[in-house]
């Protein structure tokens, strides 16, 4: 997961946070369809250049199989097929997340191929940006209750959406090297960790109604610590825009005097924490009851195609 990625295309959005009306799982205004359309455009163009099969529909390039075909630059991690019961639990966790936080519903419907991590590595889950829309879950992920699995799925889905942003808005400068102090992690991996922390804070605050308990504060400090490892010279303008929004979001929780300095782009953007204006913040638990109460909506599950709009679309997500 630390091998240098292939050269990235030029950015489609100089400031992705502004162009996409926020960040996934953090801003309810996030224009997810706009990002999906841009990703599909990039993948289709890449496939055409490489003389790969050119799918008849733009949406076809949003499937996990096509994503791996076009973008992979490393060997896949070892995995086996989930059992029917495990697959059902993942599907229910995704639907429960969308029931608890309606703004997340289209995000957790992103087609993702979940597999069982085997042989065990000690990790509970794993994903890598060079295999977008693929997630490996360890057997231990299924030993807890629905809340634990839902939180794990939320973390991994947050990674997947940040990796999609990386496909169209590279966050690294030139040929990337791991920034100092990151234990060999590349800049996008550090951003992904901070993004996952902000996502889990939003989830915890929504379902538990807790704004400043130990779990939230721990996630907040870990996320801010990740961002503190990144230097301005490690990031592109797009990377600085993402880092700035993540710092805003994390710093907005139960301020304890931690540094909330700016990494760069977007310094004038109004600070707002994850879930600002969120309609689903009612304290509903993400469990089996949440699934049954989700409007009776049994729409697309992870792994199914989703619809996108042309990348020139400037309307809402």
Residue-wise pLDDT for 239-263, tens only, equals: 999 999 999 999 998 644 333 333 3
Q: The tokens of 257 are what? A: 């005097």
Q: The tokens of 265 are what? A: 């782009």
Number of domains in the chain: 1
**What tens digit of pLDDT does each residue of 124-137 get?**
999 988 889 999 99
Strands 79-80 and 113-117: antiparallel
Q: The tokens of 21 are what? A: 């009306």
Residue 63 has pLDDT above 50, yes or no: yes
Q: Which domain holds residue 216?
A: 170-271
Contact 152, 112 (CB under 8 A): no
- Among 206, 187, 183, smallest CA distance to 195 is for 187
Give the DSSP H or E segment for 41: helix 32-49
Please report whether residue 7 resides in a domain. Answer: no
Please report whether residue 183 resides in a domain. Answer: yes
How many Å apart are CA 188 and CA 219, to the nearest integer?
18
How many Å apart are CA 134 and CA 117, to the nearest integer?
11
User: Cβ neighbours of residue 99 under 8 Å, at least 6 residues apart?
Assistant: 105, 284, 286, 290, 291, 293, 294, 295
**What tens digit of pLDDT does each residue of 259-291 get?**
333 333 322 232 333 433 343 333 333 333 333
pLDDT recorded at residue 6? 39
Supply the mean pLDDT for the chain.
77
Please report whether residue 215 resides in a domain. Answer: yes
Residue 13 has pLDDT above 90, yes or no: no
Range of weakest confidence among 15-24, 88-97, 223-232, 296-305: 296-305
Please report whether residue 207 resides in a domain. Answer: yes
- Among 78, 193, 215, 214, smallest CA distance to 134 is for 78
Please report whether residue 43 resides in a domain. Answer: no
Q: The tokens of 125 are what? A: 């889950």
Q: The tokens of 95 are what? A: 């639907």
- Among 316, 296, 281, smallest CA distance to 101 is for 281
pLDDT recorded at residue 14? 87
Please report whether residue 248 resides in a domain. Answer: yes
Count the residues in the chain: 317
Q: The tokens of 269 are what? A: 């953007």
Please report whether residue 200 resides in a domain. Answer: yes
Please report whether residue 195 resides in a domain. Answer: yes
pLDDT recorded at residue 54? 61
Strand partners, 137: 116, 125
Q: Is the pTM of this model over 0.95?
A: no
Which 3 state secondary structure label does DSSP give 136? strand
Which 3 state secondary structure label does DSSP give 235? strand
**What tens digit of pLDDT does each residue of 155-200 get?**
999 999 999 999 999 998 765 567 777 777 888 999 999 999 999 9
Mean pLDDT for the stretch of residues 102-106? 98
């Amino acid at each position: 997961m630390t091998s240098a990625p292939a050269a990235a295309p030029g950015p489609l959005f100089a400031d992705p946070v502004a162009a996409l009306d926020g960040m996934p799982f953090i801003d309810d205004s996030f224009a997810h369809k706009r990002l999906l359309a841009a990703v599909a455009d990039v993948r289709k163009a890449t496939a055409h250049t490489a003389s790969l099969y050119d799918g008849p529909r733009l949406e076809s390039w949003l499937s996990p199989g096509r994503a791996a075909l076009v973008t992979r630059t490393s060997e896949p991690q070892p995995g086996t097929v989930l059992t029917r019961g495990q697959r059902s639990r993942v599907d229910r966790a995704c639907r429960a997340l969308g029931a608890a936080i309606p703004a997340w519903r289209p995000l957790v419907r992103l087609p993702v191929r979940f597999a069982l991590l085997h042989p065990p590595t000690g990790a509970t889950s794993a994903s890598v940006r060079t295999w977008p829309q693929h997630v490996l879950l360890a057997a231990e992920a299924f030993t807890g209750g629905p809340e634990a699995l839902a939180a794990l799925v939320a973390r991994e889905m947050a990674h997947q959406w940040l990796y999609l942003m990386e496909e169209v808005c590279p966050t690294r400068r030139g040929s990337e090297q791991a920034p100092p102090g990151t234990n060999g992690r590349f800049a996008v991996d550090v951003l992904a960790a901070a993004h996952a922390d902000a996502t889990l804070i939003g989830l915890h605050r929504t379902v538990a109604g807790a704004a400043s308990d130990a779990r939230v504060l721990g996630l907040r400090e870990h996320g801010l610590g990740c961002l503190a490892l990144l230097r301005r010279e490690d990031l592109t303008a797009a990377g600085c825009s993402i880092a700035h929004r993540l710092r805003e979001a994390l710093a907005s929780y139960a301020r304890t005097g931690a540094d909330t300095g700016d990494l760069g782009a977007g310094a004038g953007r109004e600070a707002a924490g994850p879930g600002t204006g969120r309609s689903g913040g009612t304290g509903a638990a993400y469990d089996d009851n949440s699934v049954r109460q989700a409007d009776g909506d049994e729409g697309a599950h992870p792994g199914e195609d989703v619809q996108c709009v042309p990348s020139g679309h400037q309307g809402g997500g």
